[in-house]
Structure formats: structure tokens, C-alpha cells
Structure 1
Amino acid sequence: DDKPMLQAIGNDALQKSFRNILKAFYGALKSQDGCIKFAMLTGVTKFGKVSVFSDLNNLNDISMWNKYVDICGVSEQELYDNLGAELHEFADARGMTYEEVCARLKEMYDGYHFTHNSKGMYNPFSLLLAFDRNEFKSYWFETGTPTYLVELLKKHNYDLHRMAHEETDTQVLNSIDSESTNPIPVIYQSGYLTIKGYNEEFDIYRLGFPNREVEEGFVRFLLPYYANVDKVEAPFEIRNFVREVRAGDYESFFRRLQSFFSDIPYELARELELHYQNVLYIVYKLLGFYVKAEYHTSEGRVDMILQTDQFIYIMEFKLNGTAEEALQQINDKHYARPFETDSRKLFKIGINFSTETRNIEKWLVEN
């Protein structure tokens, strides 16, 4: 029942129309409460501040109650208690041990926390499809990710780097205000972020991606909306990036990265630094599923370290500086020192991003 409201985010007139329809429906439901012994309402989001439920004010909200956290998922104990034989069949089919299959299922599909100090829950949709096919895939994302989530992130100029360690409070998590400039409640209530920690003194929740399926699926989904690449080509671009990094082919890597930034619309100029950092962050996250990656950001610059079996890349990206300055910074700050005794080939790379050309202007390599 919340889908029309969600898809009308940003369209106030349509939201108001849908809100009035839902209010009338819930008002009629309230008038029949003498005939209702038990009713359970479920949905993705709660529009608490927009008064959808103002005529149905006798609800008992169990969204963040610890005793109800396992009502809609599969706990680890339930998995072991009920699917022991299937776990062994899965392991045999994949040529893995029982323990390896359990660990991989946990990494892929576990990790949902609907309140603090609660046990983790597995996504039942993905878990059961994995058992049905004996394959570890991103099943949830094959059902389609709503584009309004990306539109919210872009509309509010959200820094994607924040997403994996966002902090917020109970009130924000528990309702959506159509006027709000905070996209996090919708992202959280849609299941892309979950509770990772809690500070009881200040009632602050730390959020993050629940598992690899969600993290990799969501970041892959974001790529065509931020970079100059279409949805069909995006998976091949990622594969090519990984291939180039593993082969030591940094020239092809940076030419491909340049193509990601081409055709940036002029109206993005005011948010250019955030845009270029968001694209770099998406590339870093996608590479990080295949190679060891580190990423740091501060005003006007990003540094990134990538490691493969044969190569180490230390990269410094600057905005409106010079590639020479970026390379100098790598040396002045001794970024390569931890790898002095490493036998792998080391590349130190300084890169400059120009707001004038709205692209990578130059890169310099020292090895």
C-alpha cells in the first residue's frame, strides 16, 4: 500500500492525492474495529509525519521490537535446525565443505538487524532461491531495484561514501517526511541499509549494508546513474577494470575512467567535486569485490590503494591541482612506505581532475 506514495516522492500534488486516498481507507478500517479481532499491516515504509495513519491511531508499531525481529526472516538457528540436509547437498553440489557453504551463505544473505542488540536475519527470498539452484547469486536484485532510490540520492546531492557508516536516530528511521532532504529513511526502510550499531546514551543508530548481496547489487545498480555508461555495458566495464588492474595496464584503466566522466552535464558544475568523488567511490567499491582496496577522501582530493597478486597501485586524485602535485604528495607523505619490502611491482600515480574540462586532465606514473 505504500508503493504509490514512494513513487510520488518529489511530486507534492500527487503525494497529497495518494495520501488522502489512503487516509480515507484507514479511516474506514478504524470505524470497523469492533469487527476486527486481529489485523496486521505490513509495507516497506512508514509515512509517519505525513499523517497517513492519523485516522488509524490505535496501531501497535512492532517494527523495532526485539521480540518480533524474526517474524519476517530466517535466523541462523532456523537455518541449521531446518535445512541441515539441504546444506550438505548444497556443499556437495558446489564442491565445498559444509562450513564453507554456511560461511558463504552468511556473507551473502545474513546481516539484517531491525533493532539494536538483535540477532541477524537472512533474506528468505534470496536464501531459498540459493538452495533451489545451489548457486550464490544476487537474487534479490534480479527482482528490480526502484529508480526512485537513486533519484533521491542524486536530488539531495548525497555523498555515497557516507552510506556505509551513516548515523541517525529512532525518529528518522521510523518515519518519512515528504519534505525531508534526508534520503536515508527510505534507503533503510527499503532494506538497502540495516542497523550495525547503537549508542544508547544518545539514541543514535549506525547503519550499513547488511551483506554482500545488497552491497554489491546496490553499487552495481548505481553505476549507470552516475557514470557515462549504459546499463547493458556496466557489468562488462567492471570486468574490464578488474582485468586491467590485474594486468598492470594502468593506461587502459585511466582511459576507461575518463570515459566514465565524459559528457557530464554543465549544470552539475556546482556539485562537480561531489560527483567526481561519487563516481570514484563506486569504482573503488566495485573493484573492492575483486581486489584489495582502500579509499580515503577529503576536500579536493581522494587517495586510493589497490592491491592484486602482482601489483600495488597508490593513487592520489586531485581536483584543480596538478598530476605533479598529486604524485609529489604520495612521495612527501610516504604512502609507499608500508610496501617497501613487498616483492610486487609498485605504481605511484598522481591524477588531476579539472573542473574546466569536467574530466581527468592528466595522470603521471612513477614505478
Structure 2
Amino acid sequence: MIDVTRKLPIGIQTFEDIRTNGYLYVDKTAFVWRIANTGKPYFLSRPRRFGKSLLLSTFESYFLGRKDLFEGLAIEQMEKEWTKHPVFHLDLNAEKYSSVEQLNLMLNNHLNQWEDVYGKDVREETLSSRFLGIIRRANEQSGNSVVVLVDEYDKPLLQALGNDALLEEYCLILKAFYGVLKTADRYLRFVFLTGVTKFSQVSVFSDLNQLNDISMDRAYATACGITREELIANFTPEMETFGKLNDISFDEVTDTLQRNYDGYHFHYDAPGVFNPFSVLNAFYKQEIGSYWFQTGTPTFLVELLKESNYDLRLLLDGIEAPASSFTEYRVNSDNPVPLIYQSGYLTIKDYDRRFRNYFLAFPNEEVKYGFINFLVPFYTPMNNNDQDFYIGKFVDELEDGDAFLTRLQAFFADFPYELNDKTERHYQVVFYLVFKLMGQFTNAEVRSARGRADAVVKTPKYIYVFEFKLNGTAEEALKQIDEKGYLIPYQSDGREVIKIGVEFSAVERNISRWL
């Protein structure tokens, strides 16, 4: 059972709450001190549920001079003065923004609360003029410079994706509001904004162009998330309990957690980090689950992919992206990769220093299979309740050496009329998704690169090597398997190797025959 004397801060984003109520805390305060004392206006992009809100709350406690909350932490030895500053913490994460009125109401509510403390000038009528007046009066009344913290600055913008008119209105409101932070520079000690995306900086932050974007800085790559060393140093009792309940060794626990939740890289030469939300939930429930993925679905990303006619197979196998693409802040249907990266569904796996090219791929199995499962209903007649049934049956039949292709043929025959006029690429993507999903339960590889078989599936008894031909013959597919030597890597394996040539008819939109 879980050690009830150790409290896991699942969903708790307030630093004071964690410290005063005895929750476990992975010490990130050295980052807090370094950031706060080496610069002034910052921006940090991280995926949702990655600790951005807790980081901002830690900054808030630090700038409020709450030395008592930092006892025993790294920053205690670094900070000597503990000066109290006026802190304005703007959290845009809690609201749903379906109209301009809701955004204005949220900003107005924050301003009202701050004006209750620092007063109001009747001549200040706009949101931005009121914000500037509050900052100035706070500085004058306290005798200390002001700190502004903005959590999830882009939440309204993300919710308006697909509605260009509403998005433009949100941009105008937030551009004027955030622009105050440049005008008020002489009153400010520190400014820190967080969000999921950077795409809207061109329009929203065009007046706030002095922000130091540390999202891909080596020095701060592990400021959010949990490194492998931090995992073992802080959670060994939970890992030991996890191992006992699941009948695996400590090393196997580490490997299991790493395979499912690790692998996020925010600089090509920095250590990877675990998703903190998923790790804490896995310890609390003492089992592996899709905790992060279930807290939000990437619908806007799927719509962007469909709009762009992007070849999804490239994305599923990993993709190269030039460094310049990460400075393109607009949502671009022709290049959805930066937004997918910033949202946490892809991460940095390698970097070519010579050509300044990143290789991006899924960080771990939670994201990989969560993303693929989410995509399936958008490309097939499956609904969410059907997915496990179909994939499970596919795997069973392959392992038994039975009617896998018959089931695949029946699966394509179920496609509704509106899907029947899709391009050949669409059907290639569906093949790809099916085999990728099988990888959860068996060793399935599916490739898009030339020179390799289209799909290889390894079961306890068999190794299947598939080659698909669109508007070609099954005989041609088998001939290609032989001529290209696709079987050679598996000849010494010991299992029976079966080559399968599959014809796919573009006219019938289905498998027509196989050998």
C-alpha cells in the first residue's frame, strides 16, 4: 500500500500549500533564484500539466519574501535579503473563453482586486491604462519595484483557434494589456510569462519584444519536470512499493516509468525529464496509466493536421525540423510541427549541429499510443469504444496465424460513404495507424522509408513481413520482398518468417487480394 505519511501533490499548484501541508516537493528553487537574479522579463513555454503554475507560485512566494517557506531548500543558501515586493499574479488558466466578454470580465476582475489594494484613478478607463496605474501606485506605495507573473498567457488564444475573427479580437485585447509591461519597465523588478505555445508572440507580444524566451535554453531545460536523478532521490519509497505491488524489481520500475513518462527534451544537449503529473499519478494509483493524455485532448492539433493534408506517417515515425521553425510563432497549417512540439506531443530526440536540424519524435509510450488512439476515429469508422476490440482481435489473429487480413479487409469495408472518396494517402495512413496500435501489444514495426518492408510484426511463433501495393499486384509485392532482401534480418531468428504481399485497390478502396 501507499505510505500515507508521504503526501503526493497531485493537482496542487500552490507552493505555500505544498510547503505548509507537508507534500513532497522536488526542489527547483535554485532555478528560481538564478532566473530571478540574472534577468528581468522572461517567457517560458512548456506543455500543460508540466509544473508551470507551481513554478510561478514559487516565484510569488520568493518575491513576497516568504523565507519561512524555503527552509531546507537550495535557495535558502543563495538568497540573503528576502525583500518583499508587490506581486501581481494573473492566472488565465481557470476560465473558458468563448467570447470577448468573458476575456474582458476575467481581466477586469483581476484589476478590481488589485485596485482594492492600491487604489484607482477615475481617469484610467481602459484595461491597459488601469493596469499601468496599478503598477505605478504599487511601486510608489510600497517603495519597492513590482513583480508581474502571468500563467498560461495563451489560454484564450488556444481556445479561439479555428475562429479567426475571435482570435483576432483576443490578440488585440491581450496585445494592449501585455504591452503595459514594456511601458511600465521602470516600475518593474521581474516579469515572467508562461504558456503552452509561442506561436502568437508575433501579434500579441509585438510591443513586448524585450522578453527573454528561455523555453529552449540549456540552463533551464529541467526547470519543469523530473529528471531521473530527482525521481530516484525523491521517490524511492514509492518506487519500491510500486515494484512490490507489480512484482517487478526496482530497476524494472525505473525502466517502466522511463518508457512511459520520460523522454521530454527541451534542449538537444540537456537531460530528459519525466512528466510530473503522470509520475505522481502512477505512484498514487500504483499502476501505469495514460494520466497526462487523459487530462486534455489535442483536437485543435488533429484539425490542423487534417487541414494541412500533412502526411501523418512522417509524424508517427519522427520528423526533422530546422531550428528556424521554432521561431515561427504563427499557427501555420503548412507547418504544424512547431505547435505539436510545444504542446508536448513531440520532443527533441537528436540534433544535427552542422545543419541545425532537430529530429523530433514522441517522448514516450504514453504520448505515442495516446496520440495514435486519439487519431484513429478521425481517419476510420472506429469510435472510441471500438478501438481496443479491433486492435485486440488483430493481434490475436496474427499470433494464431489466422485470418488477420480477412479482418483488415472487413475493417476497410466498414468505412462510411463519406470516407470512400479519400485519397490513397488516407488509406496508407490507416494501414499505418493499425500497425502502430498493434505495437502496444506485440513487436510491430511499420516504416515509410524506402528500402524496408512496409510492416514487420513479430509474434511468439511468427515474423510477418508485409509489403502493400496500391494499384499493384500481390505478386509484385512478394517479388519486392525477395529482391530487396527484406527477410534477411530475420532469417536467424528461429521463428517462422512469413512474407505477405497485399494488393490494395484504389477503385474499391480496400484490400483486393493477398498472397
Normalising by structure 2, we get a TM-score of 0.65
The one-character-per-residue Cα deviations of 1:93-125 (angstroms, maximum 9, x if unpaired) are 211111110111111111111011001111000
Which residue does the alignment assign to 1:98? 250
User: Are 1:262 and 1:359, in contact at CA under 8 Å, matched by a contact in 2?
Assistant: no
Which residue does the alignment assign to 2:407? 253
The one-character-per-residue Cα deviations of 1:266-291 (angstroms, maximum 9, x if unpaired) are 553xxx22212211111121112222
CA 1:126–1:339: 2 relative to 1, 3 Å: closer
Q: CA deviation at 1:345?
A: 4.0
Q: CA deviation at 1:336?
A: 3.6
CA 1:297–1:325: 2 relative to 1, 3 Å: same
User: Are 1:47 and 1:175, in contact at CA under 8 Å, matched by a contact in 2?
Assistant: yes
Which residue does the alignment assign to 2:170? 18
Which residue does the alignment assign to 2:218? 66
**Which letter does structure 1 place at the counterpart of 2:246?**
R
SS of 1:139's equivalent? coil
CA 1:185–1:337: 2 relative to 1, 3 Å: closer
**Which letter does structure 1 place at the counterpart of 2:434?**
V
SS of 2:197's equivalent? coil
Choose the corresponding residue for 1:326, options 469, 474, 477. 477
1:227 aligns with 2:380: yes
User: Are 2:453 and 2:481, in contact at CA under 8 Å, matched by a contact in 1?
Assistant: no
User: Are 1:229 and 1:260, in contact at CA under 8 Å, matched by a contact in 2?
Assistant: no
Residues 1-367 of structure 1: pairs in structure 2 closer than 5 A: 1-48=153-200, 50-163=202-315, 164-249=317-402, 250-259=404-413, 261=415, 263=417, 265=419, 267-268=421-422, 272-297=423-448, 303-340=454-491, 343-364=494-515
CA 1:262–1:330: 2 relative to 1, 3 Å: farther
Q: CA deviation at 1:21?
A: 1.7
SS of 1:121's equivalent? coil
**Which letter does structure 2 place at the counterpart of 1:352?**
E
User: Are 1:50 and 1:178, in contact at CA under 8 Å, matched by a contact in 2?
Assistant: no
Q: CA deviation at 1:26?
A: 0.8
d(CA) in 1 for partners of 2:264 and 2:187? 35
Q: CA deviation at 1:313?
A: 1.7
User: Are 2:409 and 2:510, in contact at CA under 8 Å, matched by a contact in 1?
Assistant: no
User: Are 1:116 and 1:195, in contact at CA under 8 Å, matched by a contact in 2?
Assistant: yes
d(CA) in 2 for partners of 1:161 and 1:320? 20
CA 1:14–1:104: 2 relative to 1, 3 Å: same
d(CA) in 1 for partners of 2:443 and 2:339? 31
Residue correspondences, number: 360
Is the deviation greater in 220-229 or in 28-37? 28-37
The one-character-per-residue Cα deviations of 1:318-350 (angstroms, maximum 9, x if unpaired) are 111223332343344454455456554443322
SS of 1:349's equivalent? strand
Q: Which has the larger Rg?
A: 2
d(CA) in 2 for partners of 1:344 and 1:264? 42
d(CA) in 2 for partners of 1:147 and 1:320? 33
User: Are 1:264 and 1:358, in contact at CA under 8 Å, matched by a contact in 2?
Assistant: no
d(CA) in 2 for partners of 1:171 and 1:87? 40
SS of 1:297's equivalent? coil
d(CA) in 1 for partners of 2:233 and 2:351? 29
User: Are 1:327 and 1:349, in contact at CA under 8 Å, matched by a contact in 2?
Assistant: yes
d(CA) in 2 for partners of 1:339 and 1:214? 29
CA 1:99–1:353: 2 relative to 1, 3 Å: same
**Which letter does structure 1 place at the counterpart of 2:248?**
M
The one-character-per-residue Cα deviations of 1:29-84 (angstroms, maximum 9, x if unpaired) are 43333443222111000125632101222211111111111111111111111112
User: Are 1:116 and 1:198, in contact at CA under 8 Å, matched by a contact in 2?
Assistant: yes
d(CA) in 2 for partners of 1:127 and 1:298? 34
d(CA) in 2 for partners of 1:114 and 1:33? 29
User: Are 1:45 and 1:175, in contact at CA under 8 Å, matched by a contact in 2?
Assistant: no
User: Are 2:305 and 2:333, in contact at CA under 8 Å, matched by a contact in 1?
Assistant: no
Is the deviation greater in 200-209 or in 2-11? 2-11
User: Are 1:261 and 1:358, in contact at CA under 8 Å, matched by a contact in 2?
Assistant: no
Q: CA deviation at 1:169?
A: 2.4
